[in-house]
Amino acid sequence: MNVSLSSGLARDIAATVDRLRQITVQIRTHGAAIGAGILWKEQGSESGLIITNAHVVRGDRATVELNDDTAARARVVARDRKRDLAALEIDAWPALAPSEIRESPLQVGELVIAIGHPGGLVGAATLGIVHAAEGGRDGRARWVRADLRLAPGFSGGPLADAAGRLVGVNTMIQGSLALAVPAAAVKAWLRRTQALVAS
C-alpha cells in the first residue's frame, strides 16, 4: 500500500469516526457512566430512539449525555433481555439526519469501527475486521463477530462499516471476538415492539 493511499484511508476512517461520535451517547445511571447508546432515527421518522443493551439500563430511567455535552433524562420504552436490547426516549430529540443503516450483508474481512466510552474516555474508537456473521435458525445473522477490542463502556454503542453505516450494536466479548446484535435484527425488533405498543 503506497503512502498516499494509506493516508487517504486514515483520513476517511477519522472522518467516519467523527460522524459516529455524533450519534453515540453516554448512558449514566445513579451518576455512574455505564455504557453507550446510539441515536437511532430511521428514514421518514421525525424523531428516534436511543438503542442500547438491556444490561446497560437495568432500571426504567437513565441520564443520557449527548455528543455536545448536554444531558437529558431518558425513559426505557422497550426492553428485550433475551436479545440484550433496550430502547429509550428523550423529550428533546437533537437535530440529526436519519441514521444510515446498512442493508447489504457484511463480508468476512471487512473493516468495522466501534465507538464507546471505556474507563471514562468519551468517544473512544476501535477498528477491526469482520470475522463472521453467524446465522440463526431462520438464516439471518444472530451475531456479527468481529476481531476488534472492546472494553467495558463500549456496550450498547455502534458498530459500523468503514463508510459509517450502522451494522450492529456492540454487546459483549466472547473468547477474543466482539459480538454485536446485527442492525437488521434491531430494526426487526423495533418494528415488532412498535406494533405491540400500537395494538
| Annotation marks residue 55 as catalytic | yes
Looking at residue 18, its amino acid is D
| Annotation marks residue 80 as catalytic | no
Q: Which helix (H) or strand (E) holds 114?
A: strand 111-116
Looking at residue 129, its amino acid is I
Residue 165: strand pairing partners: none
Q: How far apart are CA 178 and CA 79, in angstroms?
A: 22
Q: 63: which 3 cell numbers?
A: 441520564
Name the catalytic one among 84, 99, 117, 161: 84
Name the catalytic one among 99, 117, 131, 155: 155
Q: 134: which 3 cell numbers?
A: 453467524
- Burial per residue of 150-171, b for 16 or more beta-carbon CB atoms within 10 angstroms, e otherwise: beebbbbbbbbbeebbbbbbbb
Looking at residue 116, its amino acid is G
| Annotation marks residue 155 as catalytic | yes
Active site residues: 55, 84, 155
